[in-house]
Amino acid sequence: MKFKDFAYERPDAEKIKKDIKALAEKFENAGSYQEQTEITQEYNKIRNLLDTMATLVQIRHTIDVNDKFYEEEQDYFDEKSPEFTELTTDFTKKMLNSKFRPELENFFGKHLFNMYELDVKTFSPEIIDDLKEENKLVSKYVKLISTAKIPFDGEERTLVQLTPYIMSEDRSVRKDASDAKFGYFSEHLEEFDGIYDSLVKVRDRMAKKLGYKNFVQLGYDKLGRTDYNSEMVKGYRKQIHDFVTPISEKLFERQRKRVNLDNLYFYDEFYAIPGGNPKPTGTTEEKVKLALKMYNELSPETGEFFEFMTENELMDLESKKGKAGGGYCTFIKNYKSPFIFSNFNGTSGDVDVLTHEAGHAFQVYSSRHYEVPEYLWPTMESAEIHSMSMEFLTWPWWNLFYGENTDTAKFLHLSDALNFLPYGVSVDEFQEWVYENPDVSPKERRSKWREIEKKYMPWKNYDGSDYLENGGFWQKQSHIYEVPFYYIDYTLAQVCAFQFWKKSNENRTETWNDYVKLCKLGGTKPFTELVKEANLISPFEDGCLKSVAGFIKNWLDSVSDDKLI
């Protein structure tokens, strides 16, 4: 069935509430664990239906944020989802308190109950109104970003549509496009500051109501982090600062010389090769056909998967007005179908989507057989391993997209991935500080961002831009507004992806088997255990970053700049 034929019907909230309450009562009165497992499976069918409808709304709303019907349906789910959460939390409590819990743990897996402990800990009916307020604020931010209309090059552009100009080989175009982009943020500074200030305060309020000192640990618990904490992350961030920041600083200096500039300003950072960075050839349709060839040759598993995606039209890739920015992969449970959303813009980002988001989609396609909804996906830092590793595991086919510029594209891909790590941990350290100090002013937050930025990314030169010099850059990062603390995940996964890349150069077959095994495990284990199952070293382990960064540095140093020109 093609995506356009996937049927949406607004769930009857009152009926669903009644049905879940009835199942919860039956569960509590069940006389055996077998009876409780059957009731749980019925309960999961209701959850899957709810999630299917919410996901269809999310996809169709982000494809066109001006579609009034799906905007209203999104508002409906924003309003009702906390009420559903109250009921699902009640059912979860009954599972945790079941006299048959040992048998249930044996049947469903102990990891599920560890996650359920966090679900119960992070919710109370007392915070329902706060959750509704949080949803509305996030939707307000998404709309502010998605509906931007910026006059540039003779017509109105969205923020996404400015990207090719920001990556132009013409420096004046890069500068003007960057000024236009951040000019929009500067013009709406009060709104961006206000939305975030309200989000911080409502999240802090929820944390206090739930008995937390502040939102930091609540943020970790909401993301299902059962096997590591903020102290471990702090040590990891230090490894990035000590072993990656110095390499990145030298790479940017090398870039400055390569493109023959006196100063490398922020709008020059994308311009890494004289004459312009490599761009993939072909239309969107042609790129998808090339990706199909790539995945058919990569493995039988990926060939079957990508055929499924293309035949059922489970991708919306083109950038257009009214479409939300960014890219994501989601899963429509009752149709057992992944969906890829993106905004192609003619840059290397298009290939990134066909590998990164396809990595997410391949993982959930590989684990779609799990009946427990929580096992379809792992926690976020684990999920990003699949996507970032797929980018590297498809390197042998990049010539399909880049032709004679393939080696340059690979060099930039690897160096960009390494250079991302300092930015990724900056976002994390900033959020930790924000939620430890929820009552500071928006101006103090922006000042703190600039301080952290200088620590991890000393090469940043904003060419006198007041908005950016005063610490506004983070406001473009939707994760900070939408999913607090979901960003360090990308860096942890990147370190794991680097290991897959390194191992694939040594034994490709063994590496691919480890990768497929990891995908099939879905969310059945927490991050550190999944990493171990995939025969990788945990990024939290002392020496991991030194080893990984050193290997990458040697590879990048072996490439002569003359070959990139």
The pLDDT tens digits for 371-408 are 999 999 999 999 999 999 999 999 999 999 999 999 99
Final residue of a structural domain among 80, 108, 136: 108
Count helices and strands in the chain by DSSP H and E runs = 25, 5
Final residue of a structural domain among 108, 124, 146: 108
Q: How many domains does the chain have?
A: 2
| Three-state secondary-structure class, residue 476 | helix
pLDDT over threshold 80, residue 291: yes
Over range 506-510, report the average pLDDT. 95
From 209-223, 272-286, 431-445, 517-531, the region with the lowest mean pLDDT:
272-286
Q: Given pLDDT bands bounded at 50, 70 and 90, which one contains residue 151?
A: very high
pLDDT in tens, 68-84: 999 999 999 988 988 88
Residue 23 belongs to a domain: yes
Mean per-residue pLDDT of the chain: 95
Residue 311 belongs to a domain: no
Residue 311: Cβ-neighbour burial (10 angstroms; 0-12, 13-18, 19+):
exposed
pLDDT in tens, 3-24: 999 999 999 999 999 999 999 9
Residue 221 belongs to a domain: no
Q: Is the dihedral of CA 115, 116, 118, 119 positive or negative?
A: positive
Determine the distance from the C-alpha atom of residue 541 to the mean position of all C-alpha atoms in its chain, rounded to a whole number. 23
Question: What is the spatial distance between Cα 308 and Cα 336, in angstroms, rounded to a whole number?
Answer: 11
Query: What confidence score (pLDDT) does residue 346 get?
Result: 87
The two structure tokens encoding residue 525: 């284990």
CA distances from 469 to 8, 253, 530 (A): 46, 21, 41
Reported pTM: 0.89
Name the residue range of residue 91's domain: 3-108
Query: What confidence score (pLDDT) does residue 277 get?
Result: 81
Query: What confidence score (pLDDT) does residue 326 get?
Result: 82
pLDDT in tens, 470-502: 999 999 999 999 999 999 999 999 999 999 999
Over range 243-255, report the average pLDDT. 97
Q: Given pLDDT bands bounded at 50, 70 and 90, which one contains residue 63?
A: very high
Indicate which CATH number applies to the domain containing 520: 1.10.1370.30
Over range 122-146, report the average pLDDT. 93
Over range 91-106, report the average pLDDT. 96
Query: What confidence score (pLDDT) does residue 515 get?
Result: 98
Residue 429 belongs to a domain: yes
Residue 308 belongs to a domain: no
Query: What confidence score (pLDDT) does residue 563 get?
Result: 84
Residue 212 belongs to a domain: no
Query: What confidence score (pLDDT) does residue 230 get?
Result: 95
Question: What is the spatial distance between Cα 393 and Cα 397, in angstroms, rounded to a whole number?
Answer: 9
Residue 174 belongs to a domain: no
Final residue of a structural domain among 87, 108, 129: 108
Clarify whether residues 103 and 245 are in a common domain. no
Question: What is the spatial distance between Cα 253 and Cα 478, in angstroms, rounded to a whole number?
Answer: 29
Query: What confidence score (pLDDT) does residue 564 get?
Result: 85
Residue 420 belongs to a domain: yes
Percentage above 70 pLDDT, the chain: 100
